[in-house]
Chains A and B, each alone.
Chain A
Amino acid sequence: MGTPLSHARAILILSLVLLAAIVLAVAAGATPISWRAFFDGDATMRAIVLRIRLPRVIAGALIGATLAVAGVTFQTLLRNPLADPFILGVSGGAACGAAVASAFGLARVPGLVPVIAFAGACGATAAVFLLARRRGRSDATRLLLSGLVLNALFSALILIAFGLAPANDVNAALRWMIGTLSGATWNDALLLAVLFVAAMIVLVFIANDLRLLVFGEDDARARGVDVERIKLLGFGAASIITGAAVAVAGIIGFVGLLVPHLVRMMWRRDFRFLLPLCALAGGSLLVVSDLVSRVVIAPVELPVGAFTAILGVPFFLSVLRRER
C-alpha cells in the first residue's frame, strides 16, 4: 500500500464502485424498471429512467463528489481534521438565504430558492474571508472563528425568518435544509458538472503546493509556496462548488467530513492522492445513500442526509477498528 501503483488501482476500483452504484440506483426504485420496455421505446419507462432517475443519480454523484472534494480541501487548507465544507459559513449563508426567501413568500417562485441560496453561500464565504483578513493574510484560526460567528448569526436569522414565515413555506424550507436530491434535473446536473470539472482543474493545478500546507503556512512559504494565492484558489474553488451543491440539494451532512477521513485511513497519502479518491468515494456514498433513502419505505422518501450517516458510520467505525 502507498505506492503510485496501488493508488492507480484504488482509483480503478472506486471508479467501478461508483459505476455500479449509478447503474443500481437507476435500476432500483419505487417503480420497477422493465429494461425490455425501456429499449422497446416505452414512453413511461424512458421518462422514469432518462428524465427522473438518471439526472437525480448523476446530480447525486456530483454532489457527493463535490462535498468530499471540498471537505478534503478545507481540511488540508485549515490543517484541521474537524473541518467540513460547511465550516466557513457556506451552508449557513445558503440556508439563511433560503429561509429569508421563504419568509417573504419568495419560495413559491420556482427556481428562485437555489439562486438565493447560492448567492447566500457566496456572500457568506466572501464575508468570512474579509473578516479573517489582517495585513494581507488570513490565518486558519481567524477563518474558523469568523465562520463560527457567522454561522451563529445565520442560525439566529433563520429562526427569526421561520417565526415570520407561513407554516407551508417553513416546511418547504426545512425539507431543503435537511437535504434532498428529489427533483434534481438535467440542468442541475449540467451546472454541477461544469462547476465540478472547473474546480477539479483548479485543485489539480495547485495540488503540489496545496498539500504542503498541512505542515503549516510558514513551512509552506519556506518551500516556495505562494500561500495566500493557494488559499484563495483552494477555498474559492471548494466554496463555489459547495455553494452550488447546497443550492441544488440543500445541506447534506457527513459526506464532506467523513469521506476524506475514510479515504485517508485507507490510503495514508497526501492531498494529491486523496483528491481523486475522495471524489469517487463521495460520489458513490451519496448515490447509494440516496438509493436507500428512496427504496427503504418506498414510495415515501426519507432524508438522504440521514442515510449518508447511517451507511457511512458503520463502515467508518470498521475501518477505524482495523487501523493499527
Chain B
Amino acid sequence: MRLDVDNVSFAYAETSAVRDVSLSINGAGALVALAGPNGSGKSTLLKLIARVASPSRGEVRLDGKRTSDWPAKEYAKRVGYLPQDPDPAFPMRAIDVVVSGRAPFLRRFEFEKDSDYQHAEDALAMCDAVHLADRYLDEMSGGERKRVFLARVLAGSPQLVLLDEPFASLDVAHVQQVSSLLRGIVDRTGATIIFASHDLNWASAYSDRMLVMRDGALARDAAPRDVMREDVVRELFGYDARIVDGWLVPQRETTM
C-alpha cells in the first residue's frame, strides 16, 4: 500500500479547511496519528483520503493512481473509513452493521453470502465483540458501539484504515482497550491505520508516526518522541506545557 497526498487543498465555501498538505505513507503495518487542535483540518484531510470529498487543488493517490481514477467500489475495498459518530438512523443488530462493511464486495443484486458473514464474524472477533453480534446498537455503551463500527470497517479487510477521533467520548479504560485493538489490527492484518485525535497524549502514545496539523496545514511529520517536546509543543500550539515521561501535563495555574 502506498498513499501519496500531493499539495492538497480543500475549502468549504470560502473557508479553507486543508491547505497545501503533502505526505506519503509507504509500506504496510503502521499506526499513524493525525493530531492537532479542533478545527485544524484533520477530519477534512481524512475525508479527502477516504474519497468522501475531492480536493479543490492537488491530488490524493493510492498505489500511484489518483482517487478519482479508481472505480469507487475498488477504492472502497482498499480503504476503510470510520466517521466520528456513525449512527444508523434505525435500530440495527451489530452483526447487520458489521456485515454491511462488505458492501463494496457485493454485486448489484447480491445479498451477503456465508463468506461475508464469516468475514464479519472474524472482524468482530478481532475487536473483542463477538458477544455483541446479536445485540442492537442502541442498547450498547459508547465503547461497545465503537468496537462494532471498527469491526464494520475491518470486515472489508482494507489495507488502509482511516479513523476519525476513535477515542473521543471514551473513558480512559476504553481508550486503552481500543488503542490496543488498533495495535493488534496493525500487527495481525498488516493494514496501515491513520487515526485523527485532538489529544496529543493519546496521539503520541498509540502511534508510530505523528502528523500534526495546524490551521489546515501539516505542521509536523515526525516520530512521537520528536513531537512531544516542550519547545515543539510551544512552537506548534503556542502554549507552555510540561512534558513528563513523554506525557503532556497541563501547566499549574499561575497567578496573574
Chain A residues packing against B (C-beta within 8 Å): 2, 4, 75, 79-81, 135, 204-205, 208-209, 211-212, 214-216, 218-219, 221-226, 264, 268-270, 272, 324
Contacts and interface: CB of A to CB of B under 8 A. Distances in A.
A214 B96 CA distance: 12
Contacts of A218: 47, 50, 52, 81, 83
Contact of A224 (B13, B75, B88): B75
B179 interface: no
Contacts of A4: 111
Contacts of A215: 86-88, 100
B109 A223 contact: no
A272 B100 CA distance: 12
Contacts of A324: 136
Given A75-B89, A224-B77, 5 more contacts: A204-B109, A208-B108, A215-B86, A224-B72, A224-B104
A12 to B, nearest CB: 17
Interface string B69-87: 0011111110111010011
Given A221-B52, A270-B100, A214 B86 contact: no
Contact of B88 (A214, A221, A226): A214
A204 B108 CA distance: 9
Given A224-B104, A225-B72, A226-B72, A219 B109 contact: no
B83 A212 contact: no
Interface string B105-141: 0101111000000000000000000000000100000
B174 interface: no
Nearest to B75: A224
A209 B13 CA distance: 28
A79 B76 contact: no
B2 interface: no
A177 to B, nearest CB: 30
A221 B13 CA distance: 20
A293 to B, nearest CB: 31
A212 B72 CA distance: 14
18 contacts: A75-B90, A81-B90, A205-B108, A208-B106, A208-B110, A212-B103, A215-B88, A215-B100, A216-B87, A221-B50, A223-B76, A224-B76, A224-B77, A224-B104, A270-B96, A270-B100, A272-B111, A324-B136
Nearest to A207: B109
A222 B50 contact: yes
B159 to A, nearest CB: 14
B242 interface: no
Given A208-B108, A268-B92, A216 B51 contact: no
B220 interface: no
Contacts of A135: 13
Contacts of B90: 75, 81, 214, 264
Contacts of A204: 109
Nearest to A212: B103
Interface string B39-61: 00000000100111000000000
A2 B111 CA distance: 13
A253 B139 CA distance: 32
B91 interface: yes
Nearest to B80: A222
Contacts of B86: 215-216, 219
A222 B51 contact: yes
Interface string B16-41: 00000000000000000000000000
Contacts of B91: 264, 268
Nearest to A226: B72
B93 A268 contact: yes
